[in-house]
Amino acid sequence: MSTPLSHAYIISSADTQLREEKSLELSMGLLCEKGGSSPCMKCSQCKNALGGTNPDLITISRKTDDKGRQRRELLVDQIREMSSDSWVRPQAADKKVYIISDADTMNQAAQNAALKLLEEPAAYAVFILLVSSAAALLPTVRSRCVEINLRGEEKREENPLAREYIALAEKGDRAGLCSFCSHCEELSSQELSELLISIQIRLCDIIAFREKSSLNRASAFRLSSLCRLSQEYLRMNVGAKHILGLICVQTIETP
Ligand SMILES: [Zn+2]
């Protein structure tokens, strides 16, 4: 991904999941200790971002009202809060990244507060605005941001093996998992690594309640660490067969 460096981005797509994935990838690239144009997926910044535990990656989303329904707008107070938080230096990374979900639901007041922030941000702060359509944002806000339009990528296939793995884990299907893992032995280590990343992205969605799943959060966290451990083994040149054996045995908890 060769996105120009900026302190503010707009990611637009009608596909909520796609824009969230893209923002995670972009944030990891910004926070990554290796500092390349794409995330290394190995350093603690990348891993924590994937696991949803990076203190320097903050997501702002619409609040719920007292009946538990999501509000229609992002509130100006939330933008002000983010603004003052952005003056607190990052905890561990060189940057502090804010993802603003549904930024197109900011009303005029919220957008004006955002504009003020984008005009004079803290040097280390980066803001990523996620929208269905950038047209809903004030031209002055847009002019401060690098726009990434994902139209055309929306039909991108997600890794079908990742979907299959999650489905097997949800069902607790040991036999199915065994044959899945032996089938995966044919993958190259690059392909296996990509599969593990796709699984982690899906787990992230489950952890963040962006995706419905019968896996509870604790299981999703456990599987996410299993993926991380597997990635580590893969880097240490442990054979795919052994790693898949580990995944086969440890995915489904014994009651
Ligand atoms: Zn990294």
Report how far ligand 1's centroid is from the alpha carbon of 174 (Å): 33
Report how far ligand 1's centroid is from the alpha carbon of 27 (Å): 10
| Backbone phi and psi for residue 146, each to the nearest 5 degrees, phi listed first | -85, 125
Burial class (CB in 10 A: 0-12, 13-18, 19+), 246: middle
- pLDDT for 166-178, tens place per residue? 999 999 999 999 9
Report how far ligand 1's centroid is from the alpha carbon of 191 (Å): 19
State pTM to two decimals.
Answer: 0.62
Q: Where are the domains of the chain?
A: 8-149, 160-250
User: Does residue 127 sit in helix, strand or coil?
Assistant: strand
Report how far ligand 1's centroid is from the alpha carbon of 45 (Å): 6
Q: What confidence score (pLDDT) does residue 2 get?
A: 53
Report how far ligand 1's centroid is from the alpha carbon of 75 (Å): 33
Whether residue 131 contacts residue 145, with contact meaning beta carbons closer than 8 Å, is answered with: no
CB proximity list for 211: less than 8 A, separation 6 or greater: 17, 202, 205
Report how far ligand 1's centroid is from the alpha carbon of 23 (Å): 15
Q: What confidence score (pLDDT) does residue 17 get?
A: 85
Report how far ligand 1's centroid is from the alpha carbon of 76 (Å): 33
Report how far ligand 1's centroid is from the alpha carbon of 197 (Å): 13
Q: Where are the beta strands (DSSP E) in 26-184?
A: 57-60, 96-100, 125-131, 146-149
Q: What confidence score (pLDDT) does residue 1 get?
A: 43
Q: What confidence score (pLDDT) does residue 230 get?
A: 92
> Residue-wise over 31-41: b if at least 16 C-beta within 10 A, else e?
bbeeeeeebeb
Report how far ligand 1's centroid is from the alpha carbon of 80 (Å): 30
Q: What confidence score (pLDDT) does residue 16 get?
A: 86
Report how far ligand 1's centroid is from the alpha carbon of 36 (Å): 8
Report how far ligand 1's centroid is from the alpha carbon of 99 (Å): 18
CATH homologous superfamily of domain 8-149?
P-loop containing nucleotide triphosphate hydrolases (3.40.50.300)
Q: Are strands 57-60 and 125-131 parallel, antiparallel or unpaired?
A: unpaired
Residue ranges, the chain, pLDDT below 70:
1-4, 36-37, 152-157, 255
Report how far ligand 1's centroid is from the alpha carbon of 125 (Å): 18
- pLDDT for 119-172, tens place per residue? 999 999 999 999 988 888 999 999 999 999 887 665 445 788 999 999 999 999
Whether residue 43 contacts residue 37, with contact meaning beta carbons closer than 8 Å, is answered with: no
Q: What confidence score (pLDDT) does residue 4 get?
A: 67
